[in-house]
Structure 1
């Protein structure tokens, strides 16, 4: 493993006490970045010996890096600890809660209305970060000072950290692209070629923007690192868990076996189902995500999903949002 290059001195003059909640690959990579920058890091996991209370005690920044399914319970536990309002709450989880259809940052914001909440999202494959390969990310918050703090914690000469004032857009870009990565994995797994992959990613971008802006994100955010950037990385790399899910499905493997072989969470599976519940409720047109949803439920084959997308009616490339057809209901 290559050694990390030196951090930016102007960003790292004041050490911060940071609690990282989640010791998976991404949590470990972020912990290493912050430690190298001279910050005090407490790494917590459910299986570790450090208690949650001890991990967050007097922490200036508390960053959640756990899978989506554990976020609601974690938030409940943090509420019970009566965190000081000066604590910055961050989330690097990309998913949607099945019970509420909320993103992690929205769950944190509802539980901690007085705290600044920051979203960390971007094209960040953890293995490449661990190998000290050049990368960039976005820290997004409605509180500029909170975003600046996380910039200072993680920025180095090989990890460029940009700021944004659109946390929901940054979060939705990173979340929705996981569904698209499954679709691209299917495309590549069926050996449909580079033309098909390019067409799929290109048509997926307006779908993500359509959904993301309807839910409150800014259009320009989805053309940035946490949107298009994250989509390109996740949709074209075998390091992506969601891409590997799609490849496995294209090869005829059962979803349960694919997920077991991964040994870690592929958030796009849950996101696809929650997304279709949102699309039904909000009448959002999402044809690619709909086919992924049906495929994951075992209602169609990978080949049928491709044919369904290719066989849709002919129309202009640019579609008037006011004239789009409603999303199809799931098959009974």
Structure 2
């Protein structure tokens, strides 16, 4: 392929995405704040603009590009998070700024380090524009990276975002050495929580059982490579959140996502017991063992 694309973000995820496109013969341009080049000039003539920055960096990137993206260019968001100021997803922020552009969400069980090592993986590209999703599928598909299309971008995006909160809980579970029974129960009920708020947001139930939902949940909640898992594990060891984050390489998006989800759940009376306890744990209002006791001693109910 000779499509000209740009990847915004030179971190581990941006590097992994760059390697994937190169397998198909693309020569992606990579932009970061330290590259010394003007981003608005670099996006000219690009078929696709791929955003692989952390959630906190998305609004600033949008501002840099506000008058520089043509309506035919595809915007791909590969960020998993929620905006603390607006409570919007990355795709919603991009659509708000560029309502005439096709927006594609890329999400799945994709640990950056494994992809950089050339290990096989699969992902989902979702958009309301089938043509845009097909184009991005073609750019990223390879014998080592299987790409599925989907027409439920909000569901795909939320599956990859909300599971980070459950991953913090999973890391806590493993840090306390609670065993496989407890871990399985946590992930099962965590998925129910993801579906509950995902449906409120407009996502399709079946989407959350796919790669960007259940698939990403299983990967992130079972791998020490996951930064959100590391947060929970560190808290279970008795370290403070400040201490854990100071030794973390990269951003644990689940920390901010938890705050936003709590606001949305409270405002709309959505039952999210795991998220509530993760929030209290992150704020230092409760210890990891106390959180487990609180979770297990809730009122009896049917499944």
TM-score class normalised by the smaller sequence: over 0.9
Separation of aligned partners in 2, 1:92 and 1:290: 26
Equivalence for 2:216: 230
Q: Is the 8 A contact 2:240 2:284 kept in 1?
A: no
2:117 equivalent to 1:134: no
Provide the secondary structure at the position in 1 that maps to 2:128.
coil
SS in 1 for 2:66: helix
Matched with 2:47 is 60
TM score, norm. by length of structure 1: 0.90
1:50 CA displacement? 2.7
Matched, 1:20 2:36: no
Q: Aligned residue for 1:43?
A: 30
Q: Which range is displaced more, 142-151 or 51-60?
A: 51-60
Please report how far the alpha carbon of residue 54 of structure 1 lies from its aligned counterpart in structure 2 after TM superposition: 2.9
* Deviation of the 1:254 alpha carbon: 1.3
Residues 244-273 of structure 1: CA deviation (Å, up to 9, x unaligned): 000000001111111111121000000000
1:105-129 CA-to-partner distances (Å, cap 9, x unmatched) read 0000111110000000000001111
What does 1:275-286 align with in structure 2 at a 5 Å threshold? 275-286=261-272
1:79 matched to 2:84: no
Q: How far apart are the structure 2 equivalents of 1:226 and 1:77?
A: 29
Which residue is equivalent to 1:220? Answer: 206
* SS state at 2:238 partner: coil
Structure 2 counterparts to residues 144-159 of structure 1, below 5 A: 144-159=130-145
Deviation for aligned residue 1:132:
1.0
Q: Does 1:208 align with 2:194?
A: yes
Question: Post-superposition shift, 1:282?
Answer: 1.4
Distance across 2 between alignment mates of 1:228 and 1:294: 25
Q: CA RMSD in A?
A: 0.8
Does residue 239 of structure 1 match 2:211? no
Indicate the SS of the match to 1:315: coil
The aligned counterpart of 1:183 is 169
In structure 1, what is the Cα distance between the partners aligned to 2:119 and 2:63? 36
* TM superposition outliers: structure 1 runs of 4+ over 2 Å: none
Q: Secondary structure at the match of 2:17?
A: helix
The CA deviation at 1:35 is 1.7
Q: Distance in 2 between matches of 1:290 and 1:47?
A: 38
Counterparts of 1:168 and 1:250, CA distance in 2: 32
Question: Equivalent residue for 1:258?
Answer: 244
Question: Aligned partners of 2:5 and 2:279: how far apart in 1?
Answer: 37
- For normalisation by structure 2, the TM-score amounts to 0.98
2:255 is matched with which residue? 269
Deviations 1:24-72 (A, max 9, x none): 1010011011122111311001111232123212111001000001111
* 1:306 alignment partner in structure 2: 292
Equivalent residue pairs, number: 303
The DSSP-based 3-state class of the residue aligned with 1:168 is helix
Q: What CA deviation, in whole Å up to 9, does each residue of 1:85-119 have, x standing for no partner?
A: 01000100000001100000000011111000000
The reply to whether residue 173 of structure 1 matches residue 191 of structure 2 is no
Report Cα offsets for 1:212-236 as digits up to 9, x if no partner.
0101111000000000000000000
